[in-house]
């Protein structure tokens, strides 16, 4: 990857320039049977559309706080990178009442209503489907994002010294997030072509790094599993073999 990458969004741009066709995130939900595989280019397209949604339709500005209330999911990875691209601070599990806007899954809508700003809801249904009935007071992500442009340019570009994430009770600048992701990749022994299976949620830095940023930083890929506790050990072992997993985190 490019040593000059300064933010998480930069990591994705470099990956796209290097090999956009390679798989980046493979997602399993063992409660629904869903499996989705996203290449670098496909994930980057979702990130661009989501960043445009943030900047244009939701009028989010650089430095705004977004309370992110989503589980381990491929769309959560999209939001983490889109916030970085748009300069919006992703406050993971943050207080909606203290945020400028909130992004919520279907299980946290009531808490998300405390946000005084824009509210976005994700149904987290297979194939990114919309809510059967849109929740009142929320923008349905699956309705709003497809019509957004496929490329993104920030009006007020963020830099490595700007806060990118609030996670584990601490603020992380974009530059520090990249540095820590690279260090974590080295600790885990990840290199180009490594394939990480993660059963860890995105609620902590360890989950975000292992399940997204550390692999992205070194040209590796992720198999992200939600509700994997439903699987028998032999079924999980079979998945690791079929997905050619080289590293495992739970």
User: Model confidence over 12-57: pLDDT tens digits?
Assistant: 999 999 999 999 999 999 999 999 999 999 999 999 999 999 999 9
Give the C-alpha separation, 179 to 172, whole Å: 10
Residues 78-125: pLDDT tens digits?
Answer: 999 999 999 999 999 999 999 999 999 999 999 999 999 999 999 999
- Who contacts 187 (Cβ-Cβ below 8 Å, separation ≥6)? none
Q: Which long-range contacts (CB under 8 A, 24 or more apart) does 155-163 make?
A: 155/55, 156/61, 156/62, 156/87, 157/87, 158/7, 158/9, 158/62, 158/84, 158/85, 158/86, 158/87, 159/6, 159/7, 160/6, 160/7, 162/62, 162/63, 162/87, 163/63, 163/89
Cα gap 119→216, rounded to integer Å: 29
What are the chain's domains?
Answer: 8-249 (3.40.50.12780)
Q: 129-183 pLDDT, tens per residue?
A: 999 998 999 999 999 999 999 999 999 999 999 999 999 999 999 999 999 999 9
């Amino acid at each position: 990857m490019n040593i000059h990458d300064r933010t998480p969004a930069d990591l994705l741009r470099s990956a796209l320039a290097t090999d956009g066709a390679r798989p980046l995130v493979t997602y399993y939900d063992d409660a629904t049977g869903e499996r989705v595989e996203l290449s670098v280019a496909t994930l980057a397209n979702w990130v661009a559309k989501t960043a445009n949604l943030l900047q244009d339709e939701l009028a989010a500005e650089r430095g705004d706080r977004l309370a992110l209330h989503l589980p381990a999911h491929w769309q959560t990875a999209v939001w983490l990178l889109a916030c970085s691209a748009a300069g919006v601070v992703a406050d993971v599990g943050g207080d909606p009442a203290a945020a400028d806007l909130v992004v919520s899954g279907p299980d946290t809508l009531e808490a998300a209503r405390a946000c005084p700003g824009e509210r976005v809801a994700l149904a987290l249904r297979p194939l990114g489907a919309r809510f059967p009935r849109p929740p009142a007071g929320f923008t349905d992500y699956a309705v709003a994002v497809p019509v957004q442009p496929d490329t993104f340019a920030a009006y007020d570009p963020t830099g490595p010294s700007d806060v990118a994430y609030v996670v584990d009770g601490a603020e992380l600048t974009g530059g520090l997030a990249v540095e820590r992701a690279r260090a974590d990749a080295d600790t885990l022994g990840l290199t180009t072509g490594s394939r990480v299976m993660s059963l860890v949620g995105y609620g902590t830095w360890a989950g975000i790094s292992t399940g997204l940023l550390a692999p992205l930083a070194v040209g590796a890929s992720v198999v992200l599993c939600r509700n994997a506790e439903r699987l028998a050990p032999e079924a999980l072992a079979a998945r690791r073999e079929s997905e050619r997993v080289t590293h495992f985190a739970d």
